[in-house]
Chain A
């Protein structure tokens, strides 16, 4: 009998406490800076080109093989504006396949790829799976527009 009453008292006590949930789509939890959303490519604003040289390191390291990269000769390097001899031509990343393991970020020698640590890196629902294959423009957009600071491992 006592245990039953103790349980009733416990539920009553919690009832008067503040709720711990929030209304998710209208209210967002604050994400930690290390949050691993889907990966993005970074934009080198000084030169005006992506950091990525298309070196395939991430493509090899990816456990799910969701990255495809094609490299090209950098036109800006020929003009002398950039030190990068080669640059990424096409970069396709299948978000539907990506498991956000961050191995690509770890592998990258040029710090050209980073995990999206904002909510836009999570809320990715689409009606068609093929829309989840991101191309270079889509991957670079956030970084080029500013307002995205990647977290760099200490």
Chain B
């Protein structure tokens, strides 16, 4: 028994089985999320969603996976072979790496890094490289335009994302995810940082290239963007696996740093099953909100996307940092975080709403016949 324990205590073995668990979790999450998304959006559109394979179509993602695995792996004749075949992995590996630092319960994660948050942001920023390479290597104009859009979009939105997280880590005083969660034992940071949460989610939605920020993949414009030429398993790695894993990772991160993670409420007291439930519930809620937004909104234009980021999100992110700095330097009570952040969010919302060139609706000429 002690021999077995010693075997699992070996740092390599320990890392290996934890990695296996994360890998399995990731596959399960991707399969589950494809099903959930199709079903959820189906219901929003008053459709049934997948119903054929299994009860209520629950085996649909498995059927999809089988189909994708068996599909021919097509490559355009004029594509750059090496880059084309490598690009999906370039996009996917960084996303997978982000999962390594996420603590799913108080005691369980692959590795707890002191700079976990920084690691997460640094690594997840690499995904864009895969998309650019894919778009370039496909030798298709749609893919190229899509890739350029992706590059502009993901790199721009990285900035408010990082700044929002930075503002939050000022409160926690740490970049260690476990420490940040512990810090929220009493009040989750979303209460103190509504503006920061808004910025984070807006940037996250954009990072996932989902509506209203899905200009990179815009079906009605560039017909799928960087992955237009991909098929079969490469398409699935580049698109489905990367996107859903990324969505999962970002939502886990958001629930960790904003919603109190596995701790709030009563996580430490009631043990790991309750912590898992908390994590799962919070993450799923955020994912569903992203899907809900995805199903509701039109897509913004490229220039609007950029000005939204640089002219609105970025100043707001700096404002959040500044406000946090004020509160911290002058040792104001905690509730001033809420007041400053919330008021800024409301003011920003109001200003955007009134400044938007909405104008009067069209004139209706009323002329009646005899």
A and B touch in the complex (CB under 8 A): yes
Among candidates A1, A2, A17, A23, residue contacting B51 with C-beta atoms closer than 8 Å? A23
Among candidates B44, B48, B349, B353, residue contacting A11 with C-beta atoms closer than 8 Å? B44
Asked if residues B46 and A21 are in contact (CB atoms below 8 Å), the reply is: yes
Beyond A11-B292, A23-B51, whether A1 also contacts B352 by CB under 8 A is yes
Does B295 reach chain A (CB closer than 8 Å)?
Answer: yes
Asked if residues A15 and B44 are in contact (CB atoms below 8 Å), the reply is: yes
Asked if residues B292 and A8 are in contact (CB atoms below 8 Å), the reply is: yes
The size of the chain B interface, using a CB distance under 8 A, is 19
Return chain B residues, CB-CB under 8 Å to A22: 48
Return chain A residues, CB-CB under 8 Å to B296: 7-8, 10-11
Mask: chain A, 7-32; 1 = CB below 8 Å from B; 0 = not: 11011101101111111000000000
Q: How far, in Å, is A55 (CB) from chain B's closest CB? A: 48
Q: How far, in Å, is B29 (CB) from chain A's closest CB? A: 23
Among candidates B40, B47, B297, residue contacting A21 with C-beta atoms closer than 8 Å? B47
Does A4 reach chain B (CB closer than 8 Å)?
Answer: yes
Which B residues from 264 to 317 make CB contacts under 8 A with A? 292-293, 295-297
Q: How far is the CA of A7 from the CA of B296 in the complex (A)?
A: 7
Interface size class of A (residues with CB under 8 A): 10 to 19
Does B43 reach chain A (CB closer than 8 Å)?
Answer: yes
Q: How far is the CA of A1 from the CA of B347 in the complex (A)?
A: 12
Return chain A residues, CB-CB under 8 Å to B44: 11-12, 14-15
Asked if residues B43 and A1 are in contact (CB atoms below 8 Å), the reply is: no
Q: How far is the CA of A19 from the CA of B350 in the complex (A)?
A: 36
**Which residue of chain B has the shortest Cβ distance to A17 in the bound complex?**
B46
Asked if residues A7 and B352 are in contact (CB atoms below 8 Å), the reply is: no
In the complex, the number of residue pairs spanning A and B with C-beta atoms less than 8 Å apart equals: 40
Among candidates B52, B293, B295, B353, residue contacting A2 with C-beta atoms closer than 8 Å? B353
Return chain A residues, CB-CB under 8 Å to B297: 4, 7
Asked if residues A19 and B353 are in contact (CB atoms below 8 Å), the reply is: no
Asked if residues B46 and A20 are in contact (CB atoms below 8 Å), the reply is: yes
**Which residue of chain B has the shortest Cβ distance to A12 in the bound complex?**
B292
Q: Which interface residue of B45, B48, B296, B297 has the most chain A CB atoms within 10 A?
A: B296
Q: How far, in Å, is A102 (CB) from chain B's closest CB? A: 32
Q: How far, in Å, is B350 (CB) from chain A's closest CB? A: 8
Q: How far is the CA of A14 from the CA of B46 in the complex (A)?
A: 7
Instruction: Give residues in A with beta carbon < 8 Å to B.
Output: 1-2, 4, 7-8, 10-12, 14-15, 17-23
A-B contact pairs, 17 of them (CB 8 A): A1-B349, A2-B353, A7-B296, A8-B292, A8-B293, A11-B44, A11-B296, A15-B44, A17-B46, A19-B46, A19-B47, A20-B46, A20-B47, A21-B48, A22-B48, A23-B48, A23-B51
Q: Which 6 A-B pairs have the closest CB atoms?
A: A11-B296, A1-B353, A15-B44, A1-B349, A21-B47, A11-B44
